[in-house]
Structure 1
Amino acid sequence: MLNQRYFKRFDSLGGAENFEFWRKLVSLPRDAGTTPRSVLILRPDSIGDFVIFSRQLEGYRNMFPRAKLDLLGVPEVCALAEATGLFEDTIAWDRYRYEKRGVYWREMLTRLSETPYDLVIYPCYSREANADEMAAVIPASERWAVKGDDCNLSREALRYNERLYSLVVDISPVPEHESARNAAILSAFGGIPKSWNQKQHPLFTEEDTAISAGLLEDLAPPYVAMVPGAQNSYKCWPRERFAEVLDAILDQTRATVLLGGSPQEESVANWLRAGCQAPERVRILTGRIGIRGFAAVISRAALLIGNDSGPAHIAGAMGIPAWIVMGGGHYGRFLPDPQAPSTRVFTSRRSCFGCNWRCKESEPFCITKAKLPVDSIIKCFGIS
């Protein structure tokens, strides 16, 4: 019996009526015991999560060498997945519309209920209600998931939702870093984790390279990529601090600064360029190039400066030096990254590190009080 109280989000979309709509679409899995011919991987999380996960993609491909392998994720993740060449198809979903727009929510679930797979894999340690919800309506012989933590769901809800899956693996003792967790999850599913190298899976195509080259053809190197935004505003270093770093780079070096980010961050980029001392050496790419195109831009940069965000992980995956300001909410789980030695992390250490972003202060001082040593940046990378 499915219980509505584990899906409190439904209250904002019509309560019991929408729960009943979802319940009718649910199909419980059965262990087929045969080799899957079609596999869907659910990655409903962020760009950085996928970039770290991509280190084990070949392991999943090798588990099902003859199967049709697809991926469900946000549009940016789907774009990166397509560049790897390991997926036959992708299914994009819009998190905001799914959580806030009842019509889109119903359309998405209906579409998934009409898209059968032999196997659905949800290989995330921190499961969330959205993906459990979507996995449940996909007609599948088998569904695999992870007995994870309570970052996004209560322990009670996690246990209750396990009935939606035919296999739930336990990776205890849990490794600290997400990369090691992904390897442990693949191993628990029966795959063989592989050692990762930075040339293994591309995050952009030759077409993306050509587009990025066209955007930069009138700008002299060296390039410094700067990303002053992040998916969550509480992870953002104050824009005034970015302005100080920007002016120092423009004053003390000959570098061209490339401002990147999502369309929602364009106002910050415009503010930074308008207030700097040499706007002719600042190019705004924010909202004007897709994530793969910006990955190609990062590959041409001498350095990336930014917050704990997707571009930081993209730079690390390609071995591009990155100096990143981050807080203590998940410190050590995603960054610092032992497999991305070119990435340096700057924070203001607090006794509350590891709070899972349940900040009890008036502001996240672990971020707002962090400092970037600008003089060291200039000396380290020879961009003067």
Structure 2
Amino acid sequence: MGGRYVIETRREATHESEGMRHRWLRRRPLGRYRYVRLRWRVVFAVVDYVGEVVFGTCRALRSLFVARQTPTDTLGATAGLSSSAGITVGQANRATLPLGLDKPLARCTTASANPHEDPRVILLVQLDHLGDAIISTAMLPPLRRRYPDASIEVLAGPWNREVFEAAPQVDRVHVSRANRFARRRLARLAWIPAVFWWGLRLRRRKVDLGIDVRGDFPVALILWLCGARRRLGWDCGGGGFLLTDRPAFVPSRPEVQSRWALLGALGIQPLSAADSWRASFRPSDTARREIASRLAEFSSGPLVVLHVGAGTAAKSWPVGHWRELLGRLVVHLGVHVVLVGSGSDRTIAARILGQWRWPGVADWTGRLTVVELAALVERAELLVGADSGPAHLAAAEETPVVVLFSGTNNARQWQPCGGQVTVLRHPVDCSPCHRGRCPRPDHPCMNQLRPQRVAREVERILSWRFAEIPC
């Protein structure tokens, strides 16, 4: 008994020290970096310092060579001659540099492309998760309105490619299977050569405007290697010296509004107040017909979708809580329920359902594409799930959604934005921890989010929804 008490006491002390360490880091950030761990802040502070020195030296050398080779009294004439011949001043200056130094020095300058010249090829890089891609769809309609003749291309991951393939504003989608957001360890390790491979491969696309929506050093490197004339991104993840336009990142701002802040650097403003917080995603007609045929097995009645998976273990709701919520929905509310998730969530769904035969319940985990999931959510009265892609998808489609928000992230920054979004969370002192797995054995932020509370919220929303339907 005494030994067990000592072990539990040591565990509690460890958890307290972990929480104190993360709170200390949040109170004392190192400059502009968004990284939680101190080592990454230090690494990228050093990288940025070296990069600024190297690029600053290259700019100084280029200016020195140009000043020596081009007389100041003929600079205006050179500019006029080159403009009349269809050559920019930068190209004329580059021609005066010593042989072999023109291209390296030019690549190390960060002077922005002419902001008044419309880009012909726009590359948006979005390699991370499904929810992030849904958020970024808010940028596509205004980009198309501002640049109607441009080719809008996206470098995506295999897990979010369908989002951009379904977007009518996107002309071409490039898919990088090896990047650091991959679930498999081997694919994560392959991201370093993949950065250089994609950077050099995309040079043939002759990108005029490159956009990094996340603020990542690998993405900034890709945009620089591909030769994008104008490179827009956040200066919060390292590699800001590789960008031409780098507005300041605001950490607690909702992510949709951060996307609009990037567009603001291009002079693009929302048409209305609603545009500044709303993502946009709609399923295809083919997906709608497929889901309609699958739902034919259900009798008439309200449909609730439960997304039982999560991006990380720290965001997962306990299986017992899911089972209790499912029982309340089926027995007390009499609704039809569809369980959704990725292929890896089938085990969770099987544990929730157990050996019982649940009337009006279907397990579709691992059986839907992204557009089919969107078609299902579009027909549902409500979606319940963790802070992950399907919750953002429901918000984009204006389907009511109850988000079971863990203590992992800043809720104001990452919660889905929309008029019919309800966020439920249990406050804990260690939030936001930015952890993939909770180090505390009781996982209080999710365990203490009781199914009774969630069921009451679901009942409230359903009663409000059906009160809108005239008899």
Aligned partner of 1:317 among 382, 396, 399: 396
Equivalent position of 2:372 in the other structure: 293
Query: Does the CA-based 8 Å contact 1:69-1:87 persist in structure 2?
Result: yes
**TM-score using structure 1 length:** 0.80
Equivalent position of 2:186 in the other structure: 100
Equivalent position of 1:40 in the other structure: 123
Query: Does the CA-based 8 Å contact 2:303-2:336 persist in structure 1?
Result: yes
**SS of the residue 1:324 aligns to:** strand
**SS of the residue 2:395 aligns to:** helix
Matched residue type, 2:133? F
1:6 shift after superposition = 5.4
Q: Distance in 1 between matches of 2:338 and 2:350?
A: 12
Matched residue type, 1:115? L
| 1:112-163 deviations in Å (ceiling 9; x for gaps) | 4122222211122xx2344234334323223221123xxxx4xxxx2xx122
Equivalent position of 1:77 in the other structure: 160
Aligned partner of 2:259 among 182, 207, 217: 182
Equivalent position of 1:13 in the other structure: none
Equivalent position of 2:100 in the other structure: none
1:163 counterpart = 2:241: yes
**SS of the residue 1:333 aligns to:** helix
Q: Distance in 2 between matches of 1:347 and 1:199?
A: 22
CA RMSD of aligned residues (A): 3.1
Equivalent position of 1:370 in the other structure: 449
Q: Distance in 2 between matches of 1:134 and 1:185?
A: 18
Q: Structure 1 pair 254/105, CA: closer, same or farther in 2 (3 Å)?
A: same
Equivalent position of 1:356 in the other structure: 434
1:266 shift after superposition = 1.3
1:29 shift after superposition = 6.9
Query: Does the CA-based 8 Å contact 1:44-1:74 persist in structure 2?
Result: yes
1:147 counterpart = 2:235: yes
Query: Does the CA-based 8 Å contact 2:135-2:279 persist in structure 1?
Result: no
Unaligned runs of 5+ in 1: 9-23
**SS of the residue 2:412 aligns to:** coil
Larger Rg, first or second structure (1 or 2): 2
Query: Does the CA-based 8 Å contact 1:171-1:188 persist in structure 2?
Result: no
1:55 counterpart = 2:55: no
1:259 shift after superposition = 0.7
**SS of the residue 2:402 aligns to:** strand
Q: Distance in 2 between matches of 1:283 and 1:213?
A: 14
**SS of the residue 1:288 aligns to:** coil
Query: Does the CA-based 8 Å contact 2:122-2:153 persist in structure 1?
Result: yes
Matched residue type, 1:256? H
Query: Does the CA-based 8 Å contact 2:316-2:386 persist in structure 1?
Result: yes
Equivalent position of 1:240 in the other structure: 320
1:302 shift after superposition = 1.2
Equivalent position of 2:281 in the other structure: 202
Q: Structure 1 pair 108/209, CA: closer, same or farther in 2 (3 Å)?
A: farther
Unaligned runs of 5+ in 2: 1-42, 47-103, 467-471
1:91 counterpart = 2:174: yes
Matched residue type, 2:254? H
Query: Does the CA-based 8 Å contact 1:43-1:73 persist in structure 2?
Result: yes
1:379 shift after superposition = 4.7
Q: Distance in 1 between matches of 2:403 and 2:191?
A: 36
**TM-score using structure 2 length:** 0.66
Equivalent position of 2:310 in the other structure: 230
Identity %: 21
1:122 counterpart = 2:212: yes
More helix per residue: 1 or 2? Answer: 2
More deviation in 199-208 or 78-87? 199-208
Equivalent position of 1:19 in the other structure: none
Equivalent position of 2:462 in the other structure: 381
1:171 shift after superposition = 5.1
Aligned residues: 348
Query: Does the CA-based 8 Å contact 1:208-1:292 persist in structure 2?
Result: yes
